[in-house]
Amino acid sequence: MRIRGFAPSTPCWAELSTADSTRTAGFYADLFGWDIDGNRFMLDGRAIAGIVPARPDRPAGWLTYLAAPDLEGTIQRVQAAYGRVLVRPEERPGARSAIVSDSAGTVFGLWQANGFAGAQLRGEPGTMSWADLLIDVASQPTAFYGSVFGWSLTHEFGSGEWLTEAHDSVAGLITGRYDFRWQPSFQVADCLDLVDNVARLGGRVAVGPVEMGLGRYAEIIDPVGNTFAITAPVPRPVELSVAYNDITGLELTYGG
C-alpha cells in the first residue's frame, strides 16, 4: 500500500547508519529484495528506509524517526520533559530532521516533511510495519512520551502498546531489556522462512521467532552488528454467531 503522509508523532522513517555501506546494503538487498538509490533503500521504486555513512554525532545502527510537523515546538517539549537534543535541526532532501533522546537516554529522530514524508510503502513484505521501544520498566518512559506526544500506554494482546490521544495504536513497548533503543520492525511473509536465510547471508538471530501481539516476531543482527526486527502476521480464526433478541433484534457476536 502506498503511503503519502503520516500523522504527527507516527513512526514515519527508519534510517541505518553504518561504516560499511556496501556490505550492509548487500545483506538487506538479499534479505528483503531491496534496491539502493543513493541513500535510500527502495522496493518497487518506492522509498522504504534510509542508509547513511556513520558519523561521530549520531549513533550507529537503525534510527527510528517520528513525524514532527512542528520540529522546533517538538524539540522544546522534548527538552521540557528532560530529554536531550543530540543533533540540531538540519536540512535533508525533502525534509528537516533532528536527533534527540528521551529522559532515559533512548535515542530517536524527529522528521518534518517538506515534500518527502518518509516510507512510501506499508502493509506488504519488505516494508516497515511497526516500531517498538525497548526499555527496562514501563514507568521510565511513560511520563516523557505522554508529555511530548500525548501518548498513553495500554496492554493489548500480551504486550505493551502506545496509543495516541485519539486512541490509535502508534508503537509498541517491550520491557525487561537492558539495551534501550527504538527498534524498527519490517514485515515479512513468513518469519520462519526468512530466519532460515539470515545465517547464510552473514547475520544471526538474536531473539525468536516468537509469537508477540498478532504476529510472529524475531530480532535479527546484520553482519556488522546492527539490530532490527521482523514481523509476520499470524492468521487467527474468527467465529461469528448470529442470534435474535426480542428487544434489540438481530445480534452478531464475534469470537475466536
Condensed to tens digits (0 to 9), the pLDDT of residues 116-154 reads 999 999 889 999 998 999 988 877 788 899 999 999 888
- Pairing relation of β-strands 46-53 and 40-43? antiparallel
Grid cell digits, residue 61: 545502527
Residue 242 banded pLDDT, cuts 50, 70, 90: low
The mean pLDDT value for 160-176 works out to 81
- pTM for this model (two decimals): 0.87
Strand bridging mode 46-53 / 107-113:
unpaired
Instruction: Enumerate residues 6+ apart whose C-beta is below 8 A from 40.
Output: 47, 48, 49, 50, 51
With bands split at pLDDT 50, 70 and 90, how would you rate the model's confidence at 204?
very high
Query: Quick one: how many helices (H) and strands (E) in the chain?
Result: 4, 18
Whether pLDDT at 101 is above 80: yes
Residue 176 in grid coordinates? 525487561
Binning pLDDT at 50, 70 and 90, where does residue 159 land? Answer: low
In angstroms, what CA-CA distances link 242 with 247, 251, 256? Answer: 15, 6, 14
Q: Residue 238's pLDDT is what? A: 46
Reply yes or no on whether the pLDDT at 249 is more than 60. Answer: no
- pLDDT at position 254, please? 45
149 touches 165 (CB < 8 A): no
For residue 243, the model assigns a pLDDT of 57
Name residue, grid cell 530517536.
108
Q: Please report which residue ranges of the chain form alpha helices under DSSP H.
A: 21-32, 71-80, 139-149, 191-198
pLDDT digits (tens, 9 = 90+) for 24-50: 999 999 999 999 998 999 999 999 999
Q: Can you give the pLDDT at residue 256?
A: 45
CA atoms within 13 A on the CB side of 239: 3
pLDDT at 251: 57
Find out if CATH 3.40.640.10 is the number for domain 11-188. Answer: no
> pLDDT tens digits, residue range 180-200?
899 999 999 988 888 888 989
Q: What is the pLDDT of residues 209-226, one digit of tens each?
A: 888 766 788 999 999 999
Cα of 59 vs its chain's centroid, Å: 17
